[in-house]
Amino acid sequence: MMSFPRQPIKLVDSQIHGFESGAELFVVEGDSAARSVARIRNSRFQAVLPMQGKPLNALKAREKTVRANPFFMALIDSIGANIGESTEPSLCRYQRIVLLFDPDADGIHCGTLVLMFFYRWLRPLLETGQIAIVRPPMMEIVADGLQSPLLAYSDEEGQIICQELKQQRQTNVIKKRFRGLASLSAEVLMRYCVEPATRKAYRLTVQDAERSIELLSSFKAGS
């Protein structure tokens, strides 16, 4: 196990670490989400770190401000990284950092803010492809003729699925929106969010961060 100077209080750590170990750190929203993921994760190589509330917009923040932020310092300590260009990806405690936030507008915003933090202060990890994001399903759809629920990742997708089911003359079509990671069943959370072989993880890049910054800037300009 790789050591680090300060043990983050909220970190639920993995047993193995290292740049080529396959170890990964899930960053999630809040303690409830962390408990749900920690219960089903593979403790050998998967760690979990919760954040509390929306993170600071670190894009233009001073280093002193970032270092005073409890969540960012817990994240830095967990990864075993140094702030700035001096970060050496090969010395990090995890091979991947996986962003896993609630399937709602707040979750999307949190993901954007954490991505901006990596872009501004730990960009080498983006350049080496060590940051990924997993989108959890937003809702499940049930009907009398279905053997198992169908999952949708957006309101638009849910609406399309419901329309198709009604065209197939399925009865009692019902949408159930997930309130957050903690409201997902253990089976759904494992299959679609946690298990590397079955989840859909998107590797984030510097270009993704720059597009997010442009979108956020244009939104603020138009508001």
Average pLDDT of span 19-31: 94
Give the mean pLDDT of 46-66.
91
Task: State the distance between the two ends of the chain, measured CA to CA, in whole angstroms.
Answer: 49
- Mean pLDDT value of segment 11-24: 93
Asked if residue 77 lies in contact with residue 6, where contact means CB atoms within 8 angstroms, the answer is: yes
Give me the pLDDT at residue 1, please.
Answer: 45
Residue-range domain boundaries for the chain: 24-136+182-222, 139-177
- Res 52: pLDDT: 82
pLDDT of residue 79: 93
What are the tens digits of pLDDT across the range 164-183? 999 999 899 999 999 889 89
Percentage with pLDDT > 70 across the chain: 94
pLDDT of residue 205: 96
Architecture of domain 24-136+182-222: 3-Layer(aba) Sandwich (3.40)
